Amino acid sequence: MYADRLSSLPPYLFARIDAMKAAKARSGADIIDLGVGDPDLPTPPHVVEALCVAARDPANHHYPSYAGMPAFREAVAGWYGRRFGVDLDPGTEVLALMGSKDGIAHVPEAFVNPGDVVLAPSPGYPVYRTSTLFAEGVLHELPLTAENGFLPDLDAVPADVARRAKLLFVNYPNNPTSAVAPPSFYDEVVAFAREHGIVVVSDNAYSEIAYDGYRAPSFLETDGAREVGVEMHSLSKTYNMTGWRIGMAVGNPEILAGLGRVKTNVDSGVFDAVQHAGIAALSGPQDCVAAACRIYQERRDVLVQGLRSLGYDLPTPKATFYVWLPVEDSMDFAARLLDEAAIVATPGVGFGPHGEGYVRFALTRPVERIEEALARMEALA
């Protein structure tokens, strides 16, 4: 009954986790969910208020622009200029998205023909893989290893693979490993893309979740980046707006035009009232972002120190709200946590074969719940 392409798709990782969690909840267990990266912090009040005002205006009740309201695209350009020093043309170098997942899912359809190669990190965001499969492309996984700082070794890509490659996904600060990339890495990416005629897609959704004074760069800050690629960004993590579904793709106008052609044929634009809320988020006070990072940093410190006290060896993340913990067997470890301690963690293998040997914890629960999770883990030892 189903199309053949569905047989090649693995079950979406987080849907599987939801099913396992629901089964455990039916037993009456007190579940501590450190699995899916959905912020538990509320959307800032001034953003909510902007939505309420805009939603009452009948002018916003019609079909939205596919590309995004000019005012929203201007707000994105202004934010990129203030945050990264990147000067964007709102008319040609900014495209509104229904979250960065929207752009990541659609961009291979614009540039990948059947049999073309897509280069993507493993472990990596599962949509890199699934979007490639839907476009009938061939995924070539770039291993992210601790020995290499969880950065891909572009020199290790076989010459015949590089010749067939059309698209390269990079993601820093990284989900799931929480690794960060030095600016020199993006110089390598630009040079590699130029040499092989590859479109680069930088997934920068976690740039604003950072600690200890670290400030993540944008790929577009790199000389030549705009000639070869685009960056996907999202308001989801920065402003606790995961359910609002709003983000942006910025950078090379021709690449954005191709992505826009796909979007106009298969989906709609972002509700104008939500775009007004996005304008309030991007253009308004940013102290809400700093406050959220302080909360995540406290949680990070409690979890990392607690795991170390249990005998685990792991670095302190500089960014994202994830902790990437080395374990023996990711599925067995995650299953035991859920079955015996009612703790949800994400098995690393769900992010690709090179995620085996790790589990990911999300810092999306209060300190008290993290401390309770650590106490339960200690009881298992």
Q: What is the pLDDT of residue 5?
A: 82
Q: What is the pLDDT of residue 204?
A: 98
Task: Using the CB atoms, write b or e for 266-279: b if 16+ within 10 Å.
Answer: eeebbbbbbbbbbb
Final residue before a domain boundary, out of 262, 283, 304: 283
C-beta separation of 35 from 21 below 8 A: yes
142 vs 156: CA distance, rounded Å: 9
Please tell me whether residues 228 and 187 are part of one structural domain: yes
Phi and psi based region of residue 279 (left: phi greater than 0; alpha: psi -120 to 50; beta: remaining) = alpha
C-beta separation of 348 from 281 below 8 A: no
With tokens 């859920």, the residue in question is 338
Q: What is the pLDDT of residue 20?
A: 78
Question: Does the model's pTM come out above 0.75?
Answer: yes
Angle (CA) 186 188 192, round 5° = 115
Q: What is the pLDDT of residue 161?
A: 98
Domain CATH code at residue 369? 3.90.1150.10
Query: Which residues is 94 bridged to in the sheet?
Result: 250
334 vs 260: CA distance, rounded Å: 39
Please tell me whether residues 253 and 196 are part of one structural domain: yes
Residue pLDDT, tens place only, 300-327? 999 999 999 999 999 999 999 999 999 9
Give the number of C-alpha atoms closer than 13 A to the C-alpha of residue 36, restricted to the C-beta side: 14
C-beta separation of 362 from 41 below 8 A: no
Radius of gyration of the chain (CA): 21
Please tell me whether residues 176 and 272 are part of one structural domain: yes
Q: What is the pLDDT of residue 24?
A: 83
Please tell me whether residues 237 and 338 are part of one structural domain: no
Q: H helices of the chain, where?
A: 4-7, 13-26, 45-55, 70-84, 100-111, 126-134, 159-164, 183-196, 225-228, 253-266, 272-283, 287-309, 330-341, 367-380
Final residue before a domain boundary, out of 283, 306, 326: 283
Helix (H, G, I), strand (E, B) or coil at 171: coil
Domain CATH code at residue 66? 3.40.640.10
Domain of residue 60, residue span: 45-283
320 vs 142: CA distance, rounded Å: 21
Does 173 sit behind a cis peptide bond, omega within 30 degrees of 0 on the bond before it? yes
Q: What is the pLDDT of residue 209?
A: 98
Residue pLDDT, tens place only, 92-115? 999 999 999 999 999 999 999 999
With tokens 């102290």, the residue in question is 287
Q: What is the pLDDT of residue 88?
A: 98
Q: What is the pLDDT of residue 188?
A: 98
For the chain (length 381 residues), average pLDDT per consecutive 10? Answer: 80 72 87 93 98 98 97 98 98 98 97 98 96 96 98 98 98 98 97 98 98 98 98 98 98 98 94 98 98 98 98 97 97 92 95 97 98 97 76
157 vs 141: CA distance, rounded Å: 9
Tokens of 299: 């949680």
Please tell me whether residues 266 and 376 are part of one structural domain: no
Please tell me whether residues 88 and 135 are part of one structural domain: yes
Q: What is the pLDDT of residue 12?
A: 65
Please tell me whether residues 262 and 123 are part of one structural domain: yes
Which residue from 310, 319, 321 is spatially nearest to 374, judged by alpha carbons?
310
Q: What is the pLDDT of residue 18?
A: 77
Please tell me whether residues 244 and 265 are part of one structural domain: yes
Please tell me whether residues 248 and 333 are part of one structural domain: no
41 CB-near residues (< 8 Å, 6+ apart): 240, 292, 295
Angle (CA) 47 52 54, round 5° = 95
C-beta separation of 137 from 118 below 8 A: yes
Sheet holding 322-326, edge to edge: 322-326, 358-362, 346-347
Final residue before a domain boundary, out of 234, 267, 283: 283
Please tell me whether residues 306 and 231 are part of one structural domain: no
